[in-house]
Copies of this chain bind each other. A is one copy, B any other.
Amino acid sequence: MRHIRITLVGFGVVGQGFAELLVNKQAYLQKQYNLSLTLVGVANARHGFIYREDGLHIPQLLQLARQGQSLTEHPDIQHWDTALEGLRATPANILVEASPTNLRDAEPALSHTRTALAQGMHVVTANKGPGALAANELFALAKKHGVQLRMESSVMAGTPVISAIREGMAGASITSIRGILNGTTNYILSAMASGRAYANVLADAQAKGYAETDPTADVEGYDAVAKTLILAALVFNHPLRVEQVGRQGITAITREQMQAAIDSGKRIKLIASLHQTAGSNALEASVKPLALPLNDPLARVDGAMNAISIQADTLSEVTIIGPGAGRIETAQGLLADVLACVR
């Protein structure tokens, strides 16, 4: 049996989902992978960093979180005021970074990631900030310290996309990627395709929890842009700045435009595109609504599902459709990355 020690930074929806998965998958991981994963450190912004060398009791942590109590109520722990201090002071094999995404400067995830990599820890993250804003620096740091930095969950949650392209299609030169990378806008556009108006569908999506109270990051395309930046860096090895991605959201799409698309046998989708111009080093990137013919594999991906189509020199087109968000779906991607680190 291999024993791997994990530190988890961020204990919100995703972090708690991952912790729960560790409990639920314990027997399965031992049987299938001869592997024991122990959660030794946990941090969140409010309560700082707690550590227990022999492992924390996950059900108790989940209960504390549910009841709004401090994680420091866990017995028999060491405590630091911040995740960064705790990370520096305690040993573990892998950092699972699940703090909230910040697309301005990627903090605090960026500092957590840098610190862990520099200490020789693998880093697995669902956070879009580090990959979108600092991929080059972080992958160089990981390489220098002989560890992995993985971020499957940052694009389409646990649906295998980054690993399928970088590893499953290894050796292929990717020429083009198109994706439906945001579930909220795809839910809204799918509902609009049945004749409803944008404002009406948005209110409904907010009531159901599919859209945030302030939906700007989704409906104006910023979330899809962040994922586009991650794919530019990880798939094309060509990091872009946010200003280099043409961006147009879905807020101006009218019922009339939607109907006109349907009448001509098309569906409007918010499409993230990356296209490598033949014979040059240029990488064109955009996020914008496009009317796709029904024989396009992305045209009928509806609701909260996401999808990505990849073109390569050796494979005409590969399309991957799957969940793009969700507590357990995102935790699944973190777990797959953890298993890749220890493989």
Interface of A toward B, CB cutoff 8 Å = 21, 25, 28-29, 32-33, 152, 158-160, 163-165, 167-173, 237, 294-295, 297, 300, 302, 312, 314-323, 328-329, 331-332, 335-336, 338-340, 343
By the criterion CB–CB under 8 Å, are B163 and A340 in contact?
no
Say how far A200's CB is from chain B's closest CB, in angstroms: 23
Taking CB atoms, residues of chain B closer than 8 Å to A316 are 322-323, 329
Main secondary structure of the interface of A (DSSP, over half): mixed
By the criterion CB–CB under 8 Å, are B170 and A28 in contact?
no
Contact partner of A314 (CB less than 8 A), chosen from B172, B317, B332, is B332
CA distance A29 to B328 in the complex (A): 36
CA distance A211 to B86 in the complex (A): 63
Q: List 11 A-B contacts (CB under 8 A).
A: A28-B173, A163-B167, A295-B302, A300-B300, A314-B328, A314-B329, A315-B332, A317-B322, A318-B320, A318-B322, A320-B321
By the criterion CB–CB under 8 Å, are A332 and B300 in contact?
no
Taking CB atoms, residues of chain B closer than 8 Å to A318 are 159-160, 320-323
By the criterion CB–CB under 8 Å, are A159 and B336 in contact?
no
Which residue in chain B gives the minimum CB-CB distance to A157?
B315
CA distance A312 to B33 in the complex (A): 17
State the oligomeric state as a number of copies.
Answer: 2
Which residue in chain B gives the minimum CB-CB distance to A29?
B171
By the criterion CB–CB under 8 Å, are B158 and A164 in contact?
no
CA distance A169 to B332 in the complex (A): 8
Which residue in chain B gives the minimum CB-CB distance to A319?
B321
CA distance A211 to B322 in the complex (A): 32
Taking CB atoms, residues of chain B closer than 8 Å to A28 are 171, 173
Taking CB atoms, residues of chain B closer than 8 Å to A171 are 21, 25, 28-29, 332, 335-336, 338-339
Taking CB atoms, residues of chain B closer than 8 Å to A33 are 170
Which residue in chain B gives the minimum CB-CB distance to A337?
B170
CA distance A99 to B323 in the complex (A): 38
By the criterion CB–CB under 8 Å, are A170 and B335 in contact?
yes
Say how far A176's CB is from chain B's closest CB, in angstroms: 14
Which residue in chain B gives the minimum CB-CB distance to A339?
B170
CA distance A225 to B198 in the complex (A): 47
| Central interface residue in A160, A294, A340, by most chain B CB within 10 Å | A160
Which residue in chain B gives the minimum CB-CB distance to A21?
B314
Contact partner of A295 (CB less than 8 A), chosen from B25, B300, B322, is B300
CA distance A160 to B338 in the complex (A): 20
| Central interface residue in A167, A237, A314, A336, by most chain B CB within 10 Å | A314
CA distance A28 to B321 in the complex (A): 29
Which residue in chain B gives the minimum CB-CB distance to A299?
B300
Taking CB atoms, residues of chain B closer than 8 Å to A315 are 158-159, 322-323, 329, 332
Say how far A1's CB is from chain B's closest CB, in angstroms: 16
Which residue in chain B gives the minimum CB-CB distance to A165?
B160
CA distance A295 to B302 in the complex (A): 9
